[in-house]
Amino acid sequence: MSDVSQRADVPSPLWPTPLEGVLILAIVLALVPTWIELSESWRRYDYYSHGFLVPLAALWAATAQRNILPKLPRERSAAGGLLLGVGLALNLMGGLAAIVSLQGASVLLCVAGGVWFARGLAWLRSLVFSISYLIFMVPVPDAWITPLIARLQLFVSATAIPLVNGIGIPVEREGNVMWLPDGTSLFVAEACSGITSILTLLPLAVFLAWFTQQGFARRAVLVASVIPLAMAGNLLRVVITVWVAHHHSVELATGETLHNVAGMATYVVGCLALLAIGRAMDRFVPRPASGRSA
């Protein structure tokens, strides 16, 4: 205990030592195939496109601890080395089995294990948000995401029918296919299911909740608001698409231009709504008397 206390009095360097630099380089090289696989998923699927920004956001979040970290004790930890070994083993298993989700999850273990091994448990605790935030770059397993998308498509199409009928367009539904009065059909695709809005707004909501709100309840409200915001935005998107198809043409309604504009608008409105909810809580909901300022 005395040795740890003495180390706590000596500022810890933020930059890695030469030995730590070698460790970081070895981990980075071991994870190169994983980063390639992850980036392919981020590029291929719209609902994972935020993955490119997640590591940068996590790194920025880590810099928020730059005044705290040098004051923490620095010590090697065998337990951290064990966690790092487990992470590397899972990464190898994920690569051999072509399970990108397992490879992505192993990155968190490798980062956590590396920090724990090189700097100790106090550093790991201080960086827990930054490291945990990397979970948002990990693709959801196909066995989970595929049925979820199907359920969201059915929910959006069923909920949109009374809204569309309410604006004077008689539409019938079969599954997630909408039939217009002239016999043409519109298919509620993945883009309109809400999955993209949910998976891209969630990391933003968590980031804002951590750095702009105090107390579990306020943070939970901001994060939980993602689902109703995402579903409301995509319902509006479906209603507008049906309106354009009915009054103009299906080709225009489902064209790439309108699709891209609608998708971007839905995301931007969702971001602004999250900011508005945060501001509203700052104005109308008292902050907790004893809360940690992030």
**What is residue 64's DSSP assignment?**
T
Q: Residues 217-222: contacts with CB within 8 Å, 24+ apart?
A: 218/281, 218/285, 218/287, 218/288, 221/277, 221/281, 222/274, 222/277, 222/278, 222/281
Task: Give all strands of the β-sheet with 185-187 in edge-to-edge order.
Answer: 172-174, 177-179, 185-187
Q: Output the pTM of the full model.
A: 0.88
* Cα 71 from chain centre: 31
Report the candidate in 102, 101, 191 with the shortest Cα–Cα distance to residue 149.
191
Give the pLDDT confidence score for residue 262 in this predicted structure: 84
- The neighbouring-strand residues paired with 173 are 178
Tell me the backbone φ, ψ of residue 178, rounded to 5 degrees.
Answer: -105, 130
CA nearest neighbour of 127 among 214, 266, 223, 14: 14
pLDDT at 116: 97
pLDDT tens by residue, 230-282: 999 999 999 999 999 988 888 888 888 887 888 888 899 999 999 999 999 98
Classify residue 172 by its DSSP letter.
E
Mark the ranges of the chain whose per-residue pLDDT is less than 70. Answer: 1-12, 289-294
pLDDT value of position 64? 92
Angle between helices 226-247 and 195-212 (to 10 degrees): 140
Question: How far is Cα of residue 119 from the mean position of the Cα atoms in its chain?
Answer: 27
Q: CA–CA separation, 116 vs 114, rounded Å?
A: 5
Q: How far is CA 266 from each of CA 54, 194, 276, rounded to the nearest angstrom?
A: 20, 10, 15
The pLDDT, as a whole number, for residue 268 is 92
Task: Look at residue 173 and give its three-state secondary structure.
Answer: strand
d(CA 106, CA 135): 10
Round to whole Å and give the CA distance between 55 and 133: 8
In one-letter notation, the amino acid at residue 241 is T
Which contacts of 244-249 are long-range, i.e. CB under 8 A and separated by 24 or more positions?
Answer: 245/180, 245/184, 245/186, 246/169, 246/180, 246/181
